[in-house]
Chain A
């Protein structure tokens, strides 16, 4: 065998292994969650908000965690839009290619490197007293606090991709607009944002996927109450967080239900990523 074919062999084995790992994860999730799905049925499990671990009245449903996850993630997405859009326009439009832009970019990227537990601690000790002072709730924990921290965590994911897409907007389009007498804000409004629009949407969807799976920081801040949250100031629980909390002492049906929640989370994030990929693919075709 020559060098080329050895290298080729190594590469394809490595790639195949990654595929096998993915398949293995899916297999483990599916096989170990069947007990729960057989007991309640898929929709009976997904649509039930009851989570009762007491052996006499044992009953498990995922609805309150699915809703808790969606509430926190979408609210976080909403909160992050003004900030990440501003950063994206700063980097990809107004100060494109300038030194200040790369400085801002590295600082925002730094946010992505902070471990989740550090965000959790910061939320617990710094942000929570502020939330109490704002009068959102008596003890501060809940959907609101978690969403604010999540929003800060996903800003770098949303902004860096969006600024890429903004800087990809063809210069001749913008120059044409300027030559017709458009102001910079009009160029952003009528040229840059519309042409980069679907890319920006895709980057927000990817950021949403990131927020859905976030565990540690949310566990520390959401209050971990296993029921449907009644509003932004209420406490709740998310899919990732209930697994992290209850996995240790779980067995039997409860363990299977937790793994089933893991599978659902996997499916939700996979679908979200797929949507983002499809949107981005459409852009590159244009």
Chain B
């Protein structure tokens, strides 16, 4: 595992060297921030961290997409400055971390149902139907229950091929978490987890693997990360949300899922959201950092640079990048709570980004604080 981490970090380092050199015209001490974890937000982090490095010539950010589990382990070993995960830490994991960890939500995503059926260009699905397809109870596309949900569509007399992930994945976790909420049968037989014991269908590795099989197989249906499916413009099913509306997965409908009361520590699952415009399988992804940054041989500048990076990710510029590559931006409430949490991060008792910051609106305050806290660093050089 360590070796894998080292390898990914090394390769990111090699790749990022090319990017960093263009921005680091100014000389001075280089502060390296390293992180590891989830693969789902990797494309987003790749761009937003690069942008950050362009703005802050003295900072280098390395991110190894080794999977959520690996990210959590690396943070626990203190071998990275931040971890990244698609699932928030459960009580057991929180206990094992050794110190309090803060969940910084960075963006949102969804899990979509992609399918391939000739001459069917619109499909409606409900959670219980998806559960029964993957449980092997619904075997044909013209099953009466599917037909009842899609009265205007002519569904063929064709076998359904459900496709799932062969590797452990946060996408599987969120998919099964949602189905556990809406289908008692699913909860009893399958449960939730990053990897499951499947009843029906075939498996492939990663979003590309699942998407490849779905696209190439008439009658296949598969769950895929929204960022991947939206970029590829795959045909996806409308899902019936809790309020009873059939919703397409879009950045707006995924963001809308966060319009529920969120807990102060932001450890929230937002599947099966009650908001009428919400897409039902939506999720947050988080960066994990220690609340007290005064550990090992970390300096104040290290901690400051890390907080600046977090503030940049949730800044309007950072969130705009997310939307450009099909990750849903955080809702107002989520941004506010996250900003508040970043305000708790301290180094030996010194709060690094006080909340509420001086200024009126959050958006202005966030971008202000990036500039303000960035200047002492430049001054040190």
By a beta-carbon cutoff of 8 Å, the part of chain A in contact with chain B is 51-57, 124-125, 128, 138-141, 219-220, 223-226, 235, 244-246, 248-251, 255
Whether A224 and B195, one on each chain, are in contact in the complex, defined by CB atoms closer than 8 angstroms, is: no
Assembly CA distance A138 to B198 (angstroms): 19
Of the candidates B66, B193, B212, B213, which one forms a contact with A248 in the assembled complex, judged by CB atoms under 8 Å apart?
B66
A-B contact pairs, 25 of them (CB 8 A): A52-B197, A53-B168, A53-B194, A53-B196, A54-B191, A124-B212, A125-B216, A128-B216, A138-B219, A139-B161, A139-B213, A139-B220, A140-B217, A141-B213, A219-B166, A223-B203, A224-B202, A224-B204, A226-B198, A245-B203, A246-B167, A246-B168, A248-B67, A249-B195, A250-B168
Residues of A contacting B339 in the complex (Cβ-Cβ under 8 angstroms): none
Q: Tell me, yes or no, whether B159 is within 8 Å of chain A by CB.
A: yes
A229→B205 CA distance, assembly (Å): 19
Give every chain A residue within 8 A of B203 (Cβ-Cβ). Answer: 223-225, 245
* B204 contact set on A, CB distance < 8 A: 220, 224
Q: Which residues of chain A are near B73, meaning CB under 8 Å?
A: 251
* B69 is an interface residue with CB less than 8 A from chain A: yes
- Enumerate chain B residues within 8 angstroms of A246, measured Cβ to Cβ: 166-168, 195
Partner of A245, one of B66, B69, B166, B213: B166
B232 within 8 A of A: no
Distance between Cα atoms of A186 and B220 in the complex (Å): 54
Known: A54-B197, A251-B1. A141 touches B202 (CB 8 A): yes
Residues in chain B near residue A249, CB distance under 8 A = 67-70, 167-169, 194-195
The interface size of chain B toward A, counting residues with CB under 8 Å, comes to 32
Which of A124, A140, A220, A249 has the largest count of B CB atoms less than 10 A from its CB?
A249
B68 cross-chain contacts in A, Cβ below 8 A: 249
In the complex, what residues of A have CB within 8 A of residue B161's CB? Answer: 138-139
Which of chain A's residues have a CB closer than 8 A to the CB of B205? 219, 224, 244-245
CA A255 – CA B169 in complex, angstroms? 15
Which A-chain residue is minimally distant from B220 (CB atoms)?
A139
| Interchain CA distance A18-B204 in the complex, whole Å | 36
Within 8 Å by CB of B69, from A51, A139, A223, A251, lies A251
A53 pairs with B202, CB closer than 8 A: no
Provide the bound-state CA to CA distance between A226 and B198, in Å. 8
> Among A125, A223, A248, which residue has its beta carbon within 8 angstroms of that of B167?
A248
A137 to B283, CA, bound (A): 36
Report how far A255 CA is from B67 CA in the complex, Å: 14
Q: How far is the CB of A237 from chain B (nearest CB, A)?
A: 8
Contact assessment for B168 and A138 in the assembled complex, using a CB-CB cutoff below 8 Å: no
A140 to B212, CA, bound (A): 14
Given the complex, which residues of B lie within 8 Å of A220, measured CB to CB? Answer: 204, 209
Q: What is the interface of chain B, defined by CB distance below 8 A to chain A? A: 1, 66-70, 73, 159, 161, 166-169, 191, 193-198, 201-205, 209, 212-213, 216-217, 219-220
- Given A52-B197, A248-B168, A249-B69, 11 further pairs, Cβ under 8 A: A54-B195, A54-B197, A57-B191, A139-B219, A224-B204, A225-B201, A225-B202, A246-B195, A248-B167, A249-B67, A249-B169
| Residues of chain B within 8 A of A244, CB atoms compared | 205
Question: Is the Cβ of A55 less than 8 Å from the Cβ of B193?
Answer: yes
Q: Establish whether residues A226 and B168, one from each chain, have CB atoms under 8 Å apart when the complex forms.
A: no
Closest beta carbon of chain B to A146's beta carbon, Å: 12
A55 to B213 Cα, complex, angstroms = 28
Contacts of B197 in A (CB 8 A): 51-54, 57, 226
Q: How far is the CB of B170 from chain A (nearest CB, A)?
A: 9
Tell me the smallest distance from the CB of B250 to a CB of chain A, in Å.
Answer: 29
Q: Are A223 and B159 in contact (CB under 8 A)?
A: no
Q: Is the CB of B168 within 8 A of A225?
A: no
Q: How far is the CB of B309 from chain A (nearest CB, A)?
A: 25
Chain A residues near B196 (CB-CB < 8 A) = 53-54
Q: Would you give the shortest CB distance from B94 to chain A, in whole angstroms?
A: 16
What residues of B have a CB within 8 angstroms of the CB of A57 in the complex? Answer: 191, 197
Expressed in whole angstroms, the Cα–Cα distance for A249 and B204 within the complex equals 15
Complex Cα distance A52/B193, Å? Answer: 11
CB distance from A229 to the nearest CB of B (A): 12
Measured CA separation A57–B73 after assembly (Å): 22
In the bound complex, residues from chain B placing their C-beta under 8 Å from that of A54 are 191, 193, 195-197
- CA–CA, A250 and B69, complex, Å: 8
| Closest CB pairs A-B (n = 4) | A249-B168, A224-B203, A53-B195, A224-B166
State the Cβ distance, A216 to closest chain B Cβ, in Å: 10
A28, chain B: closest CB distance, angstroms: 11
Query: Across the interface, which residues of A come within 8 angstroms of B191, CB to CB?
Result: 54, 56-57
CA distance A251 to B73 in the complex (A): 10
Do B66 and A139 touch (CB < 8 A)?
no
Q: State the CA gap A273–B219 with chains docked (Å).
A: 43
List residues of chain B with CB within 8 A of the CB of A139. 161, 202, 213, 217, 219-220
Question: Closest CB-CB distance, B200 to chain A, in whole Å?
Answer: 9
Cβ contacts under 8 Å, B66 to chain A:
248
Cα distance A105–B181 when bound, in Å? 61
Chain A's closest residue to B176 (CB) is: A54
Cα A138 to Cα B204 with chains together (Å)? 17
**Which residues of the partner chain A approach B212 to less than 8 Å between Cβ atoms?**
124
Q: Which residues of A contact B69 (CB under 8 A)?
A: 249, 251
Inter-subunit contact A223/B168 (CB<8 Å): no
Q: Which of A124, A125, A141, A225 contacts B198 (CB 8 A)?
A: A225
Report chain B residues within 8 Å CB of A219: 166, 205
CA gap between A128 and B68 in the complex, in Å: 34
A113 to B70, CA, bound (A): 35
Closest A residue to B39 by beta carbon equals A248
Residues of A within 8 A of B201 (CB): 225
B212 → A minimal CB distance (Å): 7
What B residues does A53 contact at CB under 8 A? 168, 193-197
The CA of A253 and the CA of B86, in the complex, are separated in Å by 22
In the assembly, what is the distance between CA of A138 and CA of B217, in Å?
Answer: 9
Q: Nearest-CB distance from B92 to chain A (Å)?
A: 10
User: Shortest beta-carbon distance, B209 to chain A, in Å?
Assistant: 8
CA distance A193 to B202 in the complex (A): 43
- Cα–Cα, bound, A53→B176 (Å): 14
Q: Which residue of A lies closest to B200 (CB)?
A: A225
